[in-house]
Amino acid sequence: MKIEGGCHCGAITYTAEVDPEKTAICHCTDCQKLTGTAFRVTVPVPEDRIRFSGTPKIYVKTGESGNKRAQGFCPECGSHLFATSVGEGPKVYGLRTGTSDQREQLVPRKQVWHRSALHWLPEFEGMETVEKA
């Protein structure tokens, strides 16, 4: 599926080819803190299937596993755009679905880090659930 989108102010845009069946919710505490809300919804995009216009600012965080993840966001408006691995090798971007113009069609099929899900969230019936990624 071809999607397009970008940050809130329009300084950074993208076009990408994604598999909407791989859209997922992440409940990890890092995603909660970085979004300022209960979870984050992402869809993976191999680097050869995404093109950016504009240059995102990168913040590198270290996860519970010790892995470093580059967080890409707009330096003007602060919109979170993606996360990806740090260092050499092929990249897969965890694209933030809320930045896509086609976000309504990117329905999550899986939820990860469910052990960190906030207790007041409703259960998502029939969705694959992984306690820790």
**Domain edges within the chain:** 2-129
Give 64-75 as a DSSP string.
TTS-EEEEEE-T
pLDDT of residue 128: 87
Burial 47-72 (b: 16+ CB within 10 A, else e): eeebebebebeeeeeeeeeeeebbbb
pLDDT of residue 93: 97
pLDDT of residue 97: 97
CATH architecture of 2-129: Beta Complex (2.170)
Give pLDDT tens digits for 26-82. 999 999 999 999 999 999 999 999 999 999 999 999 987 788 999 999 999 999 999
pLDDT of residue 126: 84
Gyration radius from the chain CA atoms:
14
Torsion sign, CA atoms 59, 5, 21, 33: positive
Which residue's entry shows tokens 């990806």? Answer: 84
